[in-house]
Amino acid sequence: MALWSILLDILQRPSPFAVMAELSMLVAPLWIAVFVGVLVGWSWRPKWAILANQSDTAPQSPASSSFKLQLPSCISWISSEYSRQPNSSSTSPPPTTTLASDSSASQPGKGKSSIVSTDDLQYLCKLVEVKDDGPAWIQMMDRSTQTMSYEAWRRDPESGPPQYRSRTVYEDATPEMLRDFFWDDEFRKKWDDMLIHSETLEECPTTGTMMVQWVRKFPFFCSDREYIIGRRIWESGRKYYCVTKGVSNSVPRRNKPRRVDLYYSSWCIRAVESKRDGQLTACEVLLFHYEDMGIPWEIAKLGIRQGMWGAVKKIEPGLRLYQKERGSGAPLSRSGYMAQINSKVSPDYLRLLENSSSSTCSTSSESEIETSGDSSEKAQGGGSIPKVLVVGGAIALACSLDRGLLTKAVIFGVARRFAKMGRRL
């Protein structure tokens, strides 16, 4: 009642200028308090938060390593399949700066290619066919434009961060074009404004396996993030199984940018019927993604829900520009060329993977793998949390505890939700 009477008294001022002046004097202390709260929260972080940050640079124990191996982002992605080189008519690649194509590269568990294994292909196949025995997927979104449709689902595993599944269908696109588009780090910088640095650390010209370093940009109150990613592509009849995931590596850690370890993002690309004429002129991308954001899962879910569609809509303009440049005869980048080195697997072998356990898969005969020549081959989860959080405390918590990627969708989504809550209050 006191606040209401103060507002009425202000609104009865004789001029609009006087009203604005009085309202400014009323609101200013609130904003000052928020600002001071942010500064104090950042400066006086508790010791347990500082120790959590420092643990990023500490050697991992065998127990923690084994725990991470149970999570999708630590699934390895390489098999000893032989692979074909891209069609000779393809644009010649630029010179390779780093190479990891020793004689053991095509053997499981040996060489740099062991960062990705057949177990990863099996896991992705099970995700695609909904045979991974995980929790049920909950639909979050169903949106579309004239040339794109998008659906998204989420599920909450017993341990680890929320996992996301999406299905995007692009009209007038081929599987090969989308395969190259998502793999091309040099071109990605034209449409992904969060990627500020990419570098190939290792590559295998026989299997197409790559180890790359990404640095992604974040708002001023959070440091940039570094990723060390292992990736590879398998092909089965113009259906492409692509994996990117955080991998163990010998790259020294730095305070800035901060390393993201728990990261998994893999997708299956295949041609589907167009909604316009029923022909196979559209392309479907099934994406499975999760990463350690280092903040309570409930906050992350709120932010992703709010920012997901806006982020997805920015991808298609990049794809259409990529199609235009490729159609004009622009040369392939090195990473775009590596996207065309795929390992060919038969549909029968994929069905075997989908219906067998990991141990069975790892002991299966490598003769099932064919050579491909055209290459168009809640660890601590945040349970329920109060719906009303102090803005300064939330930002300080995200910055001091964040050991993983705080995506743009989360940052702006959470900000939007707090703004709406503030207006209701």
Q: What is the DSSP string of 38-56?
A: HHHHHHT--HHHHHHHHGG
Average pLDDT of the chain, as a whole number: 73
Q: Tell me phi and psi for residue 278, to 5 degrees.
A: 75, 5
CB 338 within 8 A of CB 203: yes
pLDDT at site 68: 37
Higher confidence at residue 47 or residue 341?
A: 341
pLDDT at site 136: 94
Q: What type of residue is 118?
A: T
Task: Look at 76-90, 379-393, 400-414 and tell me which has the smallest mean pLDDT.
Answer: 76-90
CB 114 within 8 A of CB 76: yes
Question: DSSP per residue over 87-105, as a string?
Answer: PTTSPPPPPPSS----TTT
- Where residue 424 falls (left for φ over 0; alpha for ψ -120 to 50; beta otherwise) is alpha
Task: Look at 43-57, 104-118, 141-155, 157-171 and tell me which has the smallest mean pLDDT.
Answer: 43-57
Higher confidence at residue 207 or residue 293?
A: 207
- Where residue 105 falls (left for φ over 0; alpha for ψ -120 to 50; beta otherwise) is alpha
Q: What residue has token string 């065309």?
A: 340
pLDDT at site 376: 38
pLDDT exceeds 80 at position 48: no
What single DSSP character describes residue 407? -
Above pLDDT 90, what percent of the chain? 41
Whole-angstrom Cα distance, residue 234 to residue 372?
A: 9
Task: Look at 11-25, 180-194, 307-321 and tell me which has the smallest mean pLDDT.
Answer: 11-25
Question: DSSP per residue over 175-209, as a string?
Answer: HHHHHHHHH-HHHHTTT-TTEEEEEEEEE-TTT--
Tokens of 162: 């929320």
Above pLDDT 70, what percent of the chain? 60
Task: Look at 104-108, 166-170, 249-253 and tell me which has the smallest mean pLDDT.
Answer: 104-108
Task: Look at 146-155, 335-344, 359-368 and tell me which has the smallest mean pLDDT.
Answer: 359-368
How many other C-beta atoms lie within 10 A of the C-beta of residue 247? Answer: 22
pLDDT exceeds 80 at position 10: no
Task: Look at 168-172, 179-183, 352-356 and tell me which has the smallest mean pLDDT.
Answer: 352-356
Residues 60-101 pLDDT 10s: 433 333 333 333 333 333 333 333 444 433 444 433 333 333
Please tell me whether the overall predicted TM-score, pTM, comes out greater than 0.75 for this model.
no
Question: DSSP per residue over 227-289, as a string?
Answer: EEEEEEEEESSS-EEEEEEE----PPP-SSSEEE--EEEEEEEEEE--TTTSSS-EEEEEEEE
Tokens of 349: 């072998």
pLDDT exceeds 80 at position 316: yes
Average confidence (pLDDT) over 324-349: 94
pLDDT at site 307: 83
